[in-house]
Copies of this chain bind each other. A is one copy, B any other.
Amino acid sequence: MALVVQKYGGSSLESADRIKRVAERIVATKKAGNHVVVVCSAMGDTTDELLDLAEQVNPVPPEREMDMLLTAGERISNALVAMAISAQGAEAWSFTGSQAGVVTTAVHGNARIIDVTPSRVTDALEQGYVALVAGFQGVSQDTKDITTLGRGGSDTTAVALAAALNADVCEIYSDVDGVYTADPRIVGNARKLDTVPYEEMLELAASGSKILHLRSVEYARRYGVPISVRSSYSDKPGTTVTGSIEEIPVEQALITGVAHDRSEAKITITGVPDHAGAAARIFRTVADAEIDIDMVLQNISNTAGRTDITFTLSKANGPKAVSELEKIKTELDFSAVLYDDHVGKVSLVGAGMRSHPGVTASFCEALAKAGVNIEIINTSEIRISVLIRDAQLDDAVRAIHEAFELGGDEEAVVYAGSGR
């Protein structure tokens, strides 16, 4: 008997009516002869409403209590889905992350899963119940406090459960019906991919694709869990993320898709004295503020023995990074900190570039032909990323998609609200 894990996001659960439709799909999956485990996020607006209430009573709420508060949202949605399933002829039990055996670190608001021991879930399945598990939460191994898992937490819960239960597949439902060769809202003939190997999906996720969160793909890769990306609004097959690029014969390796990212900003520190340790001091300062850095560019020093150091980071962290760097300006004796949030990143991903020389050249030629200037370039074995002006992102995505002939014949279907 196959075991299916399904995850439904907040927009799939935003009303009693949507909840009933989700329940229909779950009951159908059960009646088709599967064991079914379901992970639900909180209903559409719940988390925002709770955050708003919290802010009214305390502008800087203690993190332990924020986790106690927010986890009520998933409790509500999972209980309601269980009730809806019961109304439609199957039986279901809902569990909190803690009850389902999701054990985590003690970091409130951003806990990591240490282990999953889902014995109560297994019992429920053996007794013929559908098991619902609240996503985005667990219990701290050390303190026994309730924790939330940070960004992508519900996807990660679903994949972690699928791994622990040896599920046949983990289906992630949203309002997007699969992984495309590019964002279908930008590229009219973007093609839906049937399958994507784990490493390519990791690169796409890291390059701006919002369909799956990086951590859940990494978790799936490590434990060999196939992820099926599907729409909760249709019955079309989605995209399956599975397999390693190592399994693909060299000649069949392809260029898979184009991702873009509007969420980054660029910081340039100018006139940095060119001695050992200056760059290290700069990056340590940013790291100590718990800010992640993406692309880095360091110019060759000029005749005055000074250089510019440029890096990108999430826009959300921009102001904080600038402020921390201003504090070491005198100490390092650099000229200025420049901040530019009109940048965008576009990336080409595909195992095929390992065996096909000239991909980088074709990539840059396509951008040049479209009049797009490259500011920073960064590559991995299966990815090329460039930083450009954000106003040119759409043109760049289309130019690269065209140059590598990624398009299909059919016009891509774009659902209202797609893009998560």
The interface of chain A, by Cβ under 8 A from chain B, is 16, 19-20, 23, 50, 53-54, 56-62, 64-66, 68-69, 71-73, 75-76, 78-84, 86-87, 91-94, 99, 120, 144
Contacts and interface: CB of A to CB of B under 8 A. Distances in A.
Given A57-B80, A61-B83, 8 more contacts: A19-B57, A23-B57, A53-B80, A54-B79, A58-B84, A61-B87, A69-B79, A75-B75
A86 B62 contact: yes
Q: How many copies does the complex hold?
A: 2
Contact of A86 (B23, B61, B71, B81): B61
A58 B87 contact: yes
Contacts of A79: 54, 65-66, 68-69, 72
Given A57-B23, A72-B75, A62 B83 contact: yes
Nearest to A81: B57
Contact of A82 (B50, B68, B71, B120): B68
Contacts of A81: 57
A54 B78 CA distance: 11
A66 to B, nearest CB: 8
Chain A interface secondary structure, helix, strand, loop or mixed?
Answer: helix
Given A83-B69, A94-B68, A76 B50 contact: yes
Contacts of A61: 83, 86-87
Contacts of A68: 75, 78-79, 82, 94
25 contacts: A16-B53, A20-B57, A50-B76, A53-B76, A58-B83, A58-B84, A58-B87, A61-B83, A61-B86, A61-B87, A62-B82, A62-B83, A62-B91, A64-B93, A65-B79, A65-B82, A65-B83, A68-B79, A69-B76, A69-B79, A72-B72, A72-B79, A75-B75, A99-B144, A120-B144
Nearest to A67: B79
Contact of A69 (B75, B86, B91, B99): B75
Given A64-B93, A75-B75, A69 B80 contact: yes
A338 B276 CA distance: 98
Nearest to A56: B16
A89 to B, nearest CB: 11
A164 to B, nearest CB: 19
A87 B57 contact: yes
Interface centre among A53, A56, A71, A83 (most CB of B within 10 A): A83
Contacts of A69: 75-76, 79-80, 83
A91 B65 CA distance: 11
A56 to B, nearest CB: 4
A79 B144 CA distance: 16
**What 10 A-B pairs have minimum CB-CB distances, sorted nearest first?**
A16-B56, A69-B79, A58-B87, A57-B84, A68-B79, A58-B83, A72-B72, A61-B83, A72-B75, A65-B82
Contact of A71 (B59, B64, B75, B93): B75
Contacts of A82: 62, 65, 68
A99 B64 CA distance: 14
A59 B80 contact: no
Contacts of A87: 57-61
A53 B93 CA distance: 18
A73 B56 CA distance: 18
A69 B57 CA distance: 24
Contacts of A99: 144
Contact of A54 (B23, B54, B75, B83): B83
A33 to B, nearest CB: 23
Nearest to A75: B72
A68 B73 CA distance: 11
Contacts of A76: 50, 53, 69, 72
A94 B80 contact: no
Nearest to A88: B58
A179 to B, nearest CB: 31
